[in-house]
Amino acid sequence: MLKNNHPQVSEYMAQCLPEFMQINHYWDKQRNMVVAKILPGEFYMTTENVAIATTLGSCISACIWDDRSRIGGMNHFMLPVTNKEAHEVNWGKKDKTSDATRYGNFAMEHLINTILRSGGRKLNLRAKLFGGAKVLDQLSDVGQKNINFALAYLDQEEIVIESSDLGDIYPRKVIFEPCSGRVFIKRLDNLHNDTIIRRESDYRNQINQKEISGDIELF
Domain boundaries along the sequence of the chain: 7-218
Mean pLDDT, range 142-168, rounded to an integer? 94
Kindly report whether the global pTM for this prediction surpasses the value 0.85: no
Per residue in 34-73, pLDDT (tens digit) is: 999 999 889 999 999 999 999 998 899 999 999 999 999 9
Q: Measuring CA to CA, how many Å separate 42 from each of 45, 99, 120, 131?
A: 11, 11, 20, 15
Distance CA 104, CA 153 (A): 9
Is 3.40.50.300 the CATH classification of the domain at 7-218? no
The angle subtended at Cα 175 by Cα 170 and Cα 180, nearest 5°, is 135
Considering only CA atoms, which of 82, 89, 129, 79 is closest in space to residue 110? Answer: 89
Under 8 Å between Cβ of 159 and 127: yes
